[in-house]
Amino acid sequence: MVKAGAAPHWRPRLAPAVVLRHDRVRGADLLVMPERVVVLTGHAGTVLGLCDGERDVRGIVGDLGARFPGSPVATDVPVFLGRMRAEGWLR
């Protein structure tokens, strides 16, 4: 179980059975799994798109901080990634 947020040195990547896709009809990013589809809201797809196993959490936060200055990415993103990991969607 993840407590407050993701460890800064963790290099998140999508779980093997999870695919990030953009649905043009819905205008939304989706997580597609064998028996489930999750419709992502806000910038969740942008955050998950950076989870390539190469960047660590600090790198993802830094990238997003540059893209969205003034946004609370340093606090919100690690918590979001921790929840996605707890769901089993990130490794």
Q: Token pair for residue 65?
A: 């901080």
- Domain boundaries, given as residue ranges, for the chain: 19-87
pLDDT by residue (tens digit) across 32-48? 999 999 999 999 999 99
Banded pLDDT at 1 (limits 50, 70, 90): very low
Can you name the CATH fold of 19-87?
A: Arc Repressor Mutant, subunit A (1.10.10)
DSSP code at position 90: B
User: What pTM does this model have?
Assistant: 0.90
- DSSP letters, 2-65, are --SS--TT---BB-TT-EEEEETTTTEEEEEETTEEEE--TTHHHHHHT-BSSS-HHHHHHHHH
Contact present, 33 and 81 (Cβ < 8 Å) = no
